[in-house]
Structure 1
């Protein structure tokens, strides 16, 4: 594996959460991880039909299970912690529910969750027969949840009150998204696009990849004035300018089916699910260049820098 410069936590569909130093915390299908903003705590979903959330304490880089509870939904695939550390949100893909869980001063679960149920469908005959919550993001003190099944970014107050959702074109299949102030960027898993929505304009919509093969974009992230998106199918990472979504570069992901990536300073780490690896890239003028460092992890689906 070589000398990995940063400590990483890696989730997937293998035996549990793996660290770049070789430690293993056993857990069933920990497909996504999130960190508490101020406490030594990491949270993982268990992407099962009867989903779970596990809270780990971190001690000298090692994970110790501290608390767990049901995700109150089918196949949780994403979670996020509010910047205050007071709430954890989870997105359950299978039945489209989302949940708001209060955290106490220790970072463990406190009281009953608020379960956010949703209905609706979209035009895709197989993937949009019902709601599919895919990502949870706290922004402007609201919870935003992408719903691949209904082509919406659902919005809720921290008390669970539903607000008017953000609608995307039918068949988009919104997966992961990010904000830059009031500007929203969305990866469309079903139509292979990236959409930029800003107040007062009609939006910009481009193909996420220039490849002619079928593309199911996965993770999207902003860094400075650039937007990065992982392309499953072409197996690439696209780099786009944030202001107009023009392409800066498109580079191989270093494996098959890049499900997630993380940017940490001048490094990018890409989790290639079907290749079973995490590949390190150096960001040179914003463009990922492979460093040669590769971590083998079964069914890697999420990478979280320490």
Structure 2
């Protein structure tokens, strides 16, 4: 049976229909691909990672390690389940940990530090790692501070990064085969990179400032959460043409998760996770919402 787990800046990880697992600043959660193990960041100046055994609706601590950086904001596990990556926003460090057969941390971390900056004053004074994604045997890390998708081999060997337009501020991103989709937090855009072709569109068609947060592919559509307009945009994956833009059900949609035909949106400033049904790919409110203090991530597992 699947459960909805919600992380954020409240007292801990909330399991809908279950209880509260107390942990500080668990702003992002990830699931092991084959084991009943959940990983949470502790978004602190001295960042932390915790592994939990999933026992139905309950979580039991398994192991913990430092994130080796400042303010970890994202964690991911490779599809084979043997490697974990964490992105530390504060200082831009990305860190890799080997995982053993139980899903706990094994050996010394591989610490990937970075340098660089961008043109946006106050936001791009240095590197700011924001998300880690495993794709085609490589680790990809978005860097809001340097306008890059950094690339590494699994042993930490750096490769040539994918450069984005200055001031993009890449946050979350996703691959579909050779295509790369990137949400630009600082310029309010979505970028599609397909070989030599690049398409850039506004993430929201609403007036005013927009700081896109999470981006996810589902079928032949791209979904983007827009903070400021407080909407979810639906775009065609082929060319980023607009399909729909709907209210997120609250204030400051930090993250969302899609599970089948349901969408769960973490509206951070509204202290709610609002649920939707997909109808022809467009989210429609289903009247349900969960009260959660400062939600920042939704994980279905």
What TM-score comes out, normalization by structure 2 length?
0.99
Cα 1:274–1:102 change in 2 (3 A) is same
2:16 aligned with 1:14: no
The equivalent of 1:261 in structure 2 is: 256
Cα 1:57–1:6 change in 2 (3 A) is closer
2:204 aligned with 1:240: no
> Which structure 1 residue ranges, 4+ long, deviate > 3 Å from structure 2?
none
Distance 2:235 2:128 in 1: 27
* Structure 1 residues 187-226: aligned runs within 5 Å: 187-201=183-197, 203-226=198-221
2:36 aligned with 1:47: no
SS at match of 2:270: coil
2:95 aligned with 1:99: yes
Distance 1:237 1:268 in 2: 10
* Structure 1 residues 85-124: aligned runs within 5 Å: 85-124=81-120
What TM-score comes out, normalization by structure 1 length?
0.97
2:146 aligned with 1:174: no
State the Cα distance separating 1:213 from its structure 2 match: 1.2
State the Cα distance separating 1:199 from its structure 2 match: 1.0
State the Cα distance separating 1:200 from its structure 2 match: 3.3
The equivalent of 1:133 in structure 2 is: 129
2:273 aligned with 1:278: yes
SS at match of 2:107: coil
Distance 1:244 1:68 in 2: 42
State the Cα distance separating 1:246 from its structure 2 match: 0.7
State the Cα distance separating 1:6 from its structure 2 match: 5.8
Distance 2:73 2:113 in 1: 16
Distance 1:295 1:163 in 2: 42
Q: How well do the aligned residues superpose, as a CA RMSD in angstroms? A: 0.9
Q: Is the deviation greater in 168-177 or in 16-25?
A: 16-25
Q: 1:230 aligns with which of 205, 215, 225?
A: 225
State the Cα distance separating 1:22 from its structure 2 match: 3.9
Structure 1: gaps (5+ residues)? none
SS at match of 2:167: coil
The equivalent of 2:157 in structure 1 is: 161
Asked whether the equivalents of residues 18 and 58 of structure 2 are also in contact (C-alpha less than 8 Å), the reply is no
The equivalent of 1:144 in structure 2 is: 140
Deviations 1:41-67 (CA, angstroms, capped at 9, x unpaired):
000000000000000000122101110
How many residues are aligned here? 301
Structure 2: gaps (5+ residues)? none
Distance 1:23 1:196 in 2: 40
